[in-house]
Structure 1
Amino acid sequence: MSVQTASAPPRQRKPRRLLRWQRQLRALVLLGALLSTLLMVFHSRVPDFMGLALLVDNAAPWLGLAAPVLLLAALISKSRGAVAFALVPALVWLAGFGAAIVPLSWTAPAASAHTLTVSSQNIKAGTGAAAESARELARGGSDVIALQELDAGSGQDVTAALNADYPHHFVVGTVGVWSKYPLSQSQPLDLGLGWKRALTTQIDTEAGSIRLYAVHAASARPNDHGNRDEMLAQLAATLRADTSHSVIAVGDFNATSADRSFSSLTETLDEPNQDAGLFGFTWPREPFGFMRLDHVLQRGLDVTSNTVVPAGESDHLAVRATVNLPDS
């Protein structure tokens, strides 16, 4: 007769308890993930107290950098929950800003037989290099050149430098436009400031007309951005009232795409992505840019290219976009 011996049930492994420092690190990861996520989602609702709103809005795209730091800390803590929480800000950043960094070259339409290339730069007053910037932008294939922060005499210098190929121009205060094509219906815009820092004109080409706005918004600082906000609000209202089918607005808006005051503009105009992707930061030029203050916005046009380029001695990079003309 055989005797069967019951085998002992397998021992269940007890979950390993985290050490105190690991629990503390996990708590920091959870807090960091929650804070960065909330700021990315609700940055435009942060109260404008002591300039906090401007700082948070402009920092919003950079908050995605918290994701890899939090993930590394979560892995060090050896907490699965911390790892899961660390992934949340990464997903939120992709949802909020990911579409803006996709290269335009992936989806841009082919250039037609008739295109228009528009360039714009804040040339930085006092450098004496306005004509140099204009010549470099002209050599880059621009059909229309818009410059901001012109100082005494620099407008005349640009006109003299470009006169042979850009015989049409319109200058208002510190903002000017030079064009290969005729300009019509040109007028200054004060946009609530009481002095002129913007203009509008119509570019008349053989393949249709385009309404152009060139803008140099007032400066924005944490505790002093009211004039800029008013300019952008009035510009947005002007654009909404403009019945032109094809519209381009360029210039130094002194606002990033994440700025709550800039959002009123993107409700009526679109900002194309960069040819090679990413955000296309324009300021400062050196040692590296971390804000896009200069923009090309459009309505009713197919954008085939959009990029930033250096020109002259400005602390801003220039923006340059090419569109298919309306009737091409």
Structure 2
Amino acid sequence: MVTAALLLFHGAVPNAVLGLGSLLESFLPWLGLAGVVLLLVALLRRSALALVAVLLPAAAWTHLFGPLLLPAPEPDAADLVVVQHNVSDENSDPSGTARALAGAGPDLIALQELVSPALGVYTETLAAEYPYRAVRGTVGLWSKHPLADVRPLDIRPRGITREWNRGLRTVVRTPRAEVAVYVAHLPSVRVGAGGLAASRRDESAGLLGDAVAAERLSRVVLLGDLNGTVDDRALKPLTSRLDVAERGVALSFPAVFPLARIDQVMARSATVGHVRTLPATGSDHLPVVARVRLH
């Protein structure tokens, strides 16, 4: 009963106390494991009543996450194939990472944690297939289609006085239509004795949501390391304005044992179809690839 209640009414868990609401929502799918444990206990005890009780969290979990597990549809004629990847500023193989991302054949490649001299390696490696690029601060976009109106995106939280540029906005001129593409890297969160420390991430998400709301182009695609899952209420400034992936789990962090998808592809006046991860690179994140259909 408790597991089912947490799944269905996770929004009622307060965030004011240790950030418990966001913490729960960050790992919400993993509550399904509690149902598995309950099922094993019911089978061992051979209790019909316990088996019936297991159906409640199972039904709640299936309602929330079942559609994500449906088989991927046959590949359609997507207007855009996109890759989102935090490449890590400690990546020791930027060239191999760039080749792996390009190997997926995307139209757009969004990267975060771009630092010198690795930035030059990404640029050189991707130049032949992706002649158009935009880099602002530590985020960048490589494109097969022309770019226009490139500008930095101010999503810096209060209290950060050092140089800090982790967002950009540009227009991608696809064969079908112009699309406003946002690339962002929200501040990290920390889990400690004091609970979830995420105030800067939350503030930055609000600023990014305001920018998306003010966007005049109807078609928008957001690619970013948002340091939050789509179930986390802290990303509501974005998830309330943008559609998320319809299918695919694509857990992206940490790469060695992925627990959550914090690398996101969202869209407005477009459909984000199946999302999946690519094999590990030299980063602590896994790359995420998605197919986008423009409305």
TM-score relative to the length of structure 2 = 0.88
Aligned residue number for residue 173 of structure 1: 137
Residue 219 of structure 2 aligns with an amino acid whose one-letter code is S
Q: Distance in 2 between matches of 1:315 and 1:231?
A: 22
Q: Distance in 2 between matches of 1:234 and 1:47?
A: 23
Deviations 1:77-107 (A, max 9, x none): 344332222211111111222223323417x
Residues 104 and 245 of structure 1: CA distance in aligned 2, closer, same or farther (over 3 Å): farther
2:248 is equivalent to residue 284 of structure 1:
no
The residue correspondences of 1:106-125 to structure 2 (distance < 5 A) are: 110-111=76-77, 115-125=79-89
The residue correspondences of 1:28-47 to structure 2 (distance < 5 A) are: 34-47=1-14
Residues 85 and 180 of structure 1: CA distance in aligned 2, closer, same or farther (over 3 Å): same
Query: Of 191, 211, 214, which residue of structure 2 is paired with 1:238?
Result: 211
Q: Unmatched 5+ residue regions in structure 1?
A: 1-33
Residues 233 and 172 of structure 1: CA distance in aligned 2, closer, same or farther (over 3 Å): same
**Helix, strand or coil for the counterpart of 2:27?**
helix
Aligned residue number for residue 221 of structure 1: 190
**Helix, strand or coil for the counterpart of 1:261?**
helix
Aligned residue number for residue 252 of structure 1: 225
* Superposition deviation, residue 325 in structure 1: 5.5
Q: Distance in 2 between matches of 1:298 and 1:104?
A: 19
* Superposition deviation, residue 235 in structure 1: 1.4
Query: Of 116, 125, 128, which residue of structure 2 is paired with 1:161?
Result: 125
Deviations 1:222-267 (A, max 9, x none): 3321111111122122222223222110111110122111233222
Please identify the structure whose Cα radius of gyration is greater. 1
Residues 76 and 282 of structure 1: CA distance in aligned 2, closer, same or farther (over 3 Å): same
**Helix, strand or coil for the counterpart of 1:159?**
helix
Aligned residue number for residue 105 of structure 1: 73
* Superposition deviation, residue 302 in structure 1: 4.4
The residue correspondences of 1:87-98 to structure 2 (distance < 5 A) are: 87-98=55-66
Q: Distance in 1 between matches of 2:280 and 2:30?
A: 26
**Helix, strand or coil for the counterpart of 2:21?**
helix
* Superposition deviation, residue 292 in structure 1: 0.6
Residue 169 of structure 1 aligns with an amino acid whose one-letter code is R
2:27 is equivalent to residue 65 of structure 1:
no
Residues 245 and 72 of structure 1: CA distance in aligned 2, closer, same or farther (over 3 Å): same
Q: Distance in 2 between matches of 1:72 and 1:196?
A: 50
Alpha carbons 2:94, 2:122 under 8 Å: kept: yes
2:265 is equivalent to residue 301 of structure 1:
no
Q: Distance in 2 between matches of 1:302 and 1:294?
A: 17
Aligned-residue Cα RMSD (Å) equals 2.1
**Helix, strand or coil for the counterpart of 2:90?**
coil
Structure 1 stretches of 4+ moved >6 Å = none
Deviations 1:155-214 (A, max 9, x none): 222112222232221111110111121111111112142631111111012322111011
Q: Distance in 2 between matches of 1:80 and 1:304?
A: 40
Quote the sequence identity (%).
37
Query: Of 146, 160, 163, which residue of structure 1 is paired with 2:110?
Result: 146
Q: Distance in 1 between matches of 2:204 and 2:241?
A: 16
Aligned residue number for residue 291 of structure 2: 322
Alpha carbons 2:219, 2:269 under 8 Å: kept: yes
Aligned residue number for residue 54 of structure 2: 86
Alpha carbons 1:216, 1:252 under 8 Å: kept: yes
Alpha carbons 1:102, 1:273 under 8 Å: kept: no
Residue 265 of structure 2 aligns with an amino acid whose one-letter code is V
TM-score relative to the length of structure 1 = 0.80
The residue correspondences of 1:19-30 to structure 2 (distance < 5 A) are: none
Q: Distance in 2 between matches of 1:221 and 1:95?
A: 30
Residue 281 of structure 1 aligns with an amino acid whose one-letter code is L
Residues 303 and 92 of structure 1: CA distance in aligned 2, closer, same or farther (over 3 Å): closer
Q: Distance in 1 between matches of 2:284 and 2:41?
A: 37
**Helix, strand or coil for the counterpart of 2:190?**
coil
Alpha carbons 2:85, 2:287 under 8 Å: kept: yes
Deviations 1:34-63 (A, max 9, x none): 221222122233223234333212222111
Q: Unmatched 5+ residue regions in structure 2?
A: none
